[in-house]
Amino acid sequence: FALLLDFKATFFLGRYNDDFDDGEDLAEFDDNDFAEFEDVNEDPTVEVESEPPPKPAPSSIPVEDDEDEATVEIEDGQDEFEDADAQVSDMYSKYDKDEFEGYEKTNSPFKDTLIYQDVPAHLQNSWESYYMEILMVTGLLAYIMNYIIGKNKNSRLAQAWFNSHRELLESNFALVGDDGTSKEATSTGKLNQENEHIYNLWCSGRVCCEGMLIQLKFLKRQDLLNVLARMMRPTCDQVQIKVTLNDEDMDTFVFAVGSRKAMSRLQKEMQDLSEFCGDKPKSGAKYSLPDSLSILSEMAEVSDGVMDSKMVHYITNHADKIESIHFSDQFSGPKVMQEEGQPLKLPETKKTLLFTFNVPGMGNTSPKDMDSLVPLMNMVIYSIDKVKKLRLNREGKLKADRNRARVEENFLKQTHAQRQEAAQTRREEKKRAEKERIMNEEDPERQRRLEEAAQRREQKKLEKKQMKMKQIKVKAM
Amino acid sequence: MSANSMTDPRRPNKIFRYKPPSTDSNPTLEDPTPDYMNLLGMIFSMCGLMLKLKWCAWIAVYCSFISFANSRSSEDTKQMMSSFMLSISAVVMSYLQNPQPMSPPW
C-alpha cells in the first residue's frame, strides 16, 4: 500500500491507471482471477500516456485517488474489478486494444519529463499577478494621504498667521474679515478659504485707506505632484497685501523696492512701473540697504521721501522676507497682452500699495514662523500713514504731472490710428442704419423727405470740411 | 505699533465691502492646472474606454484626482464628480472586458 500512496502524487495519470496498478499487484497473488487484466493492463497505461494532460486542476486528482483507495480497501476484490472493467470499457471503448499490442511500456511512465503548461494569469487565483494594479492603488492612496496632510498643514499655517496678526488688525480696522455675501458689514473674524492653498482676508474701515486685502498664498501642499516638483525647485509661501487708497490719501508718485530678481521682473510685467520707472533698478546703497535689494523710482525725490529712517530700519531688518514693495498712484495691474491692436482706452488706475512677503522656512514652515511676519504688518500700517503725509514739493509735482501727461500722450498716439478706424466704422454704421430706416419707411412721401434731410446733412458736413481746409491753408500762409 | 497710538485709527463709517476680484480682468493670474487636468482626464478615460487600454484608464483616474486637488472652491462640483465617475467607469470597463492584470511596459 505504500506504493499505492506514492502513485497518488502523480499529476498526469488518471485514476484508472492506479486502479490497474492495484490489479497488477493483486494479480501476482492470484493468477486465475486477474489474468484477464494482464493484457488489458498494458493498453490503458499506453492510452493514458498518449492522452494530453487533463485540464482539471491537479488538486482534484489526489482527492479522487483517496476515494478510490478507500473503495479498494473496503470493498470486496470482485466488486473492484467490476468497477474497473466498467471504467475501462467506458473510457477506452473508442480505442482499439489490438492497435497497441506488443507495445512495451515502462512501469513508471510518470518518470518522464513533465511539461508544465502555463496557466493564463487571469485563471490563477493569486493576487501577485495583479501587482501593477496594487501599485496603482497604492499610489492613489498615497496621493489621498498627502492631500489630507497638506490641506491640514496649510489650514494650520493660515490659522496661526491669523492668530498672531488678529490683534494688530482688529486695533487698526473696523471691519476684519468679510466675504462680501452677508447683508450687513460685520466682521466675520475669519479668513476666506479660496482654495486648499489660498486664503483671503479683507480689512476695511480705517483712516487713510479704503481697504486692505491680504492673500495668504501657500504652497500647494495638497497636491503630491507639486510636492515632488518642489523637491527639485524650492519655493516659499507668500503673503500678498494690497492696500487700496482713496484719491486724497496719496500724492502722485510711483515707487518700488524689493529683491533684484523681483524688481527686474516687475519692471517688465507691471504697466505702471514700465511706463514711469524707465531706468534700471538702482541699488539701495544710498540708504544703506542691503545689496540684495534694489529700487525702482519715478524720481529721486520720491525715493528720498519714502525711504525715511524708520522705513529703512524695517526693510534692513527683514530684508530676507521682503519680496517686493510697490507704491503707485497709477496702478492698473500687469501689462495686458493684446493680440492685434491695443486697448482703446487707458486702463483704469487705482492708488495702491502692494506688499509681497516671503514666509521664512522655504516651504518647511511651521506655525511658529508666522509670528515673525508681525513686524512686517506693522511696516504696512506705518506705510499707509506715511503715504498719506508724503507730499511732493512743487518741482516734484510738476515733474510728476508732466510724466503722466507724457504717458497719456504716448498712449493716445499709439492708438490714434485705431481710434480713427473705430470712429470711421461708427460713422459708417450710423449711415447704414439711417439708410435702412429710410428703406423701411413705408410711406413714400416720408421716404423722400428723409432722403432729402440726409442729403442736406451730408452737404453741410462737406461744406464744414472745406471751410476747415481753407482755414488751415490760410494759417499756413 | 500703529502710528496714531493715541487716537483710534478705525473708522466704522468708512467701511467698504469686499468685492471679489473679477477673473475676467486677469485671466493670466489664474492657475490653469485644474482645467488642463480635467481635460486630460477626460481624454485619457475616453482612450481607455475606446481602445481598451488599462493604463490610460488609470492615468485618467490620477488626472481627475490632481484636478480635484488643485481646484478652486468656486468651481463646479458637478464637473469634478463627472470627471471622477468617467475615469472610474473607464477603469471598471477595462477590467470587465479583460480581467487580465495590466502588463508593465518593460
- Predicted confidence at residue A397, as pLDDT, reads 92
CB atoms within 10 A of CB B43: 14
First-residue to last-residue Cα distance in chain A: 139
Q: Show the DSSP H helices in A183-284 as ranges.
A: 224-232, 260-269, 271-276
Q: How far is CA A38 from the centre of its chain?
A: 80
Among A224, A230, A139, A144, CA closest to B59: A139
- Distance of residue B66 Cα from the nearest chain A Cα, in angstroms: 7
Instruction: Give chain A's residues under pLDDT 70.
Output: 1-111, 120-125, 338-344
Judging contacts by C-beta atoms under 8 Å, the chain A residues touching residue B27 are none
Asked if A331 reaches chain B (Cβ–Cβ under 8 Å), the answer is no
User: Cα–Cα distance between A251 and A295 in angstroms, integer?
Assistant: 19
| Cβ distance of A204 and B101 shorter than 8 Å | no
The answer to whether A178 contacts B25, with C-beta atoms less than 8 Å apart, is no
SS3 at position B102: coil
Cell of residue A87, nine digits: 471504467
Residues of B with Cβ-Cβ distance to A174 under 8 angstroms: 10-12, 14-15
Residue numbers of A between 151 and 180 with CB closer than 8 Å to B: 168, 171-175, 178-180
For chain B, say whether A223 makes contact (Cβ under 8 Å): yes
A249's grid cell: 490719501
Cβ-based burial of A464 (10 A; exposed 0-12, middle 13-18, buried ≥19): exposed
Q: What is the pLDDT of residue A340?
A: 55
Which residues does chain A have within 8 Å of residue B100's beta carbon, measured at their own beta carbons? 120-122
Do strands A293-297 and A254-259 pair parallel, antiparallel, or not at all (unpaired)?
antiparallel
Torsion of CA A184, A190, A195, A197, to 10 degrees: 160
CA distance A304 to A53: 98
DSSP A373: G
DSSP string, A256-306: EEEEHHHHHHHHHHBHHHHHH--SPPEESGGGT--TTEEEEESSHHHHHHH
With a cut of 50, list the residues of chain B below it in pLDDT: 1-5
**How do A293-297 and A282-283 pair as beta strands?**
antiparallel
CB atoms within 10 A of CB B99: 11
Nearest Cα to A220, choosing from A239, A196, A238, A240?
Answer: A196
* The pLDDT value given to residue B88: 93
**Facing residue for B2 by CB, picked from A133, A196, A381:** A381
Entry field: residues in chain B: 106
Q: Quick one: pLDDT at residue A243?
A: 94
pLDDT (0 to 100) of residue A14: 45
